[in-house]
Chain A
Amino acid sequence: MDYWFSEFQTPHVKFSIRIDRQLFCGQSEFQRIDVFDSPEFGRFLALDGYMMLTEKDEFIYHEMITHVPMAVHPRVKDVLVIGAGDGGVIRELTRYPDVDHIDMVEIDPLVVEVCKKYLPKTACRLDDPRLSIHYEDGLRFIRSCEDCYDLIIVDSTDPFGPGEGLFTREFYGNCYKALREDGIMVNQHESPFYSEDAIACQRAHKRIVESFPISKVYQAHIPTYPSGHWLFGFASKKYHPLRDLDEVRWNMRGLDCNYYTTTLHKGAFYIPAYVEELLKDVEQEY
């Protein structure tokens, strides 16, 4: 049997994974949700037909979106996580005993339910007592928050569909307002490679630059995402991602990672020339 999952990464590029079987298929109020087993990537989650995470490479994404800011900010007590229904970011965050409280805002309760049932490797810490889960629109949740978080992690889907509001100027502005005076915001920043993704990436960067005094971009290699080259945004009111990196402090924690190291942390901010160009284009106005 020839059973494949295919995703159009662009109208002219198709990425396919051989499937063993489909475990779940459902339609929520917001999106179509599918879970498959595959021989190469293990179990994986797709939303509206787009690959969200696979068991094989999710660690790259979740470690990079979490540990980079955690190694910079000296005292993260209160964290807001937007999206992240799969639980991967929460799994990484709960490894820090000095984090006091995490608010997770996910628009779609069905995603959380499905991940708890079918993706226990990521959704394994969703019952941590420090975690409060809020099922609502992230844009709405954050509107009333002021000066109350040290770190905001924006683990959004793509800038079309239900996640669109998380790529807007009004959202980043509200994040700025919700952060304490030394707060950091890290966001899923799309890929710079294919032209349509590059435009989305550039637009997001422009809006973050307009909203935060420090705005840098770092990269990781994620095989199942379009082009495999993925970016994250590091926006901050006070701390610089490299100058304020405290390698000793973080390494003393003794956290065992598969992708992240403090050495890689430094390298991740050195991005290819064409990406630098792409981002510089929208920085110059400011």
Chain B
Amino acid sequence: MKPLSQERAPIYEALEEFKKMRVVPFDVPGHKRGRGNPELTRLLGEACVAMDVNSMKPLDNLCHPISVIREAEELAAQAFGAAHAFLMVGGTTSAVQSMILAVAKRGDEIILPRNVHRSVMGAMVLCGAIPVYVNPECDDRLGIPLGMSAAAVKKAIEEHPRAKAILVNNPTYYGICSDIRSIVRLAHEKGMLCLADEAHGTHFYFGEGLPVSAMAAGADMAAVSMHKSGGSLTQSSLLLTGPAVSAGYVRQIINLTQTTSGSYLLLSSLDISRRNLALRGREAFARVVELANYAREEINAIGGYYAYSRELINGDSIYDFDVTKLSVNTLDVGLAGIEVYDLLRDEYDIQIEFGDLGNILAYLSIGDRPREIERLVSALSEVRRRFGRDKSGLMKQEYIDPEVAVSPQDAFYSEKESLPIRETAGRVCSEFVMCYPPGIPILAPGERITKEILDYIEYAKKKGCSMTGPEDPEILRLNVLKDRL
């Protein structure tokens, strides 16, 4: 057997071996290498459906890995500089939730910025943890939430000395990084763990000149979306842990909610992507950075748009910036980000990652080529020429300090009533309201509803943001706690 090195891809190799054995399947999945579902086979290809197999001795078992999956996890841990790596098939949502469930139980406090992904709040609904929000400062011109300043984290730690952990976005969707090294130090001094949501930071582990990765900064756990900048299949992800965390316990936590039929398409895609990043990630991300820098220069030359970068860095709430993120402020063109997002798709057949009130984000990755960048830049130039207008009447996103009236879990499971949205001001919300993407809640269960929040929701709806979360899909009504608190 070849020694274990980053050139290897143990799960992929085992699948190749398995194919050669021509094993007769009397197990699941029932499509039996695609024969039972010819239409699906035509769509996905024979090679693909033949790899959609079940856990078995030669292919190991995701719930209790002892052979090839374990080797793949060891290689991933080595590549990412972690003590242990878990291959995840339920998206980074499941990795984030496993992090929270592993560190907090009912009544425990977690310090975190308010601009976290919905999966964090979802985990708190499940386990009953209580959020302690650190106000992420807001950039006035851009209207985007920033990182947590170290001083604000320190203050939160002093006020909540029994908190179990601090969660950091590394980076935010827009590419903003907090000073994660200092936050790790502050946390560890008080015996707290530091968790990182690295859904948008896979490349930090491989690229050069990029912000520090959570594991390199000494964080205890990190949820890493391999399927975003890493190139693996949608829904595949990694959960990384540091030396202070018991890998066996984390495995038990993961197994509470993760499927027992882990997809080998997802697992092999993680394995192959890890190999690719370990061997070629440095050059690949250098190209992405070059493309992003070029795109920013060209977009800023159009006029009106502001494609921002490292010049934002202020040593604190913008401690670092991820230059692979192509975030562009659109307000001076007279259009909300969401309007530009819709125009690019409807008029120019260009799908970008998201648009909010004042910004758009185009996701660049290892699959991009200069010719597509030219299309994006040209389309933005045309959007300005054809649709640009006066900027008056545009609303910026502003940080609304949330009042957490009850814990997310209590709010979610309490007696509630449904009210027309405009009659809910002053009441405590029992459900999530968010724009998707980016999927950061505007309201989370347990938070008090204010007039400003309702104005914001109404404006976002009017501009065409896709709103999700509430039981009423039209978001004309909201569920609130029956008790007036």
Seen from chain A, the residues whose Cβ lies within 8 Å of a Cβ on chain B are: 137, 139-140, 142-144, 162, 164-165, 168-171, 173-174, 177
A170→B371 contact, CB < 8 A? no
CA distance A286 to B98 in the complex (A): 53
Contact of A173 among B302, B349, B371, B386 (CB under 8 A): B386
A177→B385 contact, CB < 8 A? yes
Contact A171 to B385, CB < 8 A, known contacts A137-B371, A164-B371, A165-B371? no
A137→B374 contact, CB < 8 A? yes
18 A-B pairs in the complex with CB atoms less than 8 angstroms apart: A137-B370, A139-B371, A140-B298, A140-B377, A143-B302, A144-B301, A165-B374, A165-B378, A168-B349, A168-B375, A168-B378, A168-B379, A169-B348, A169-B379, A169-B382, A170-B381, A173-B382, A174-B381
- Least CB distance, A205 to chain B, in whole angstroms: 15
- Least CB distance, A30 to chain B, in whole angstroms: 9
Residues of B contacting A142 in the complex (Cβ-Cβ under 8 angstroms): 378
CA distance A143 to B383 in the complex (A): 12
CA distance A140 to B385 in the complex (A): 16
B375→A139 contact, CB < 8 A? yes
A139→B378 contact, CB < 8 A? yes
Number of B residues with CB within 8 Å of any CB on chain A: 17
Contact of B348 among A164, A170, A177 (CB under 8 A): A170
Q: Is B347 an interface residue (CB 8 A)?
A: yes
- Least CB distance, A252 to chain B, in whole angstroms: 39
Tell me the residues in window 135-190 of chain B with beta carbons closer than 8 Å to chain A beta carbons: none
Contact with A along B298-329 (1 / 0, CB 8 A): 10011000000000000000000000000000
Contact A173 to B375, CB < 8 A, known contacts A137-B370, A168-B348, A168-B349? no
- Least CB distance, A2 to chain B, in whole angstroms: 34
- Least CB distance, B341 to chain A, in whole angstroms: 15
Residues of A contacting B377 in the complex (Cβ-Cβ under 8 angstroms): 140, 143
- Given A139-B371, A139-B378, A165-B378, 14 more contacts at CB 8 Å? A137-B370, A140-B378, A143-B377, A144-B301, A164-B371, A165-B371, A165-B375, A168-B349, A168-B379, A169-B347, A170-B348, A170-B378, A170-B381, A177-B382
CA distance A168 to B381 in the complex (A): 13
How many residue pairs link A and B with beta carbons under 8 A? The number is 50
A162→B371 contact, CB < 8 A? yes
- Least CB distance, B390 to chain A, in whole angstroms: 21
A143→B378 contact, CB < 8 A? yes
B374→A139 contact, CB < 8 A? yes
- Least CB distance, B240 to chain A, in whole angstroms: 38
A140→B381 contact, CB < 8 A? no
Of the candidates A144, A162, A170, A174, the one having the most CB atoms from chain B within 10 angstroms of its own CB is A170
B385→A170 contact, CB < 8 A? no
- Least CB distance, A148 to chain B, in whole angstroms: 15
CA distance A164 to B370 in the complex (A): 12
Contact of B349 among A137, A169, A171, A174 (CB under 8 A): A169
- Least CB distance, B48 to chain A, in whole angstroms: 21
CA distance A168 to B374 in the complex (A): 11
Tell me the residues in window 365-394 of chain B with beta carbons closer than 8 Å to chain A beta carbons: 370-371, 374-375, 377-379, 381-382, 385-386
Residues of A contacting B382 in the complex (Cβ-Cβ under 8 angstroms): 169-170, 173-174, 177
- Least CB distance, B7 to chain A, in whole angstroms: 27
Residues of B contacting A139 in the complex (Cβ-Cβ under 8 angstroms): 371, 374-375, 378
- Least CB distance, A166 to chain B, in whole angstroms: 10
CA distance A139 to B381 in the complex (A): 11
Contact A174 to B371, CB < 8 A, known contacts A169-B348, A169-B349? no
CA distance A209 to B105 in the complex (A): 62
Residues of A contacting B386 in the complex (Cβ-Cβ under 8 angstroms): 173
- Least CB distance, B6 to chain A, in whole angstroms: 29
CA distance A137 to B372 in the complex (A): 11
Q: Which 8 residue pairs are nearest across A and B when measured between Cβ atoms?
A: A170-B378, A170-B379, A173-B382, A139-B374, A170-B382, A137-B374, A139-B378, A140-B374
Residues of B contacting A137 in the complex (Cβ-Cβ under 8 angstroms): 370-371, 374
CA distance A168 to B379 in the complex (A): 9
Residues of A contacting B347 in the complex (Cβ-Cβ under 8 angstroms): 169
- Least CB distance, B157 to chain A, in whole angstroms: 50
CA distance A137 to B379 in the complex (A): 15
CA distance A177 to B381 in the complex (A): 11
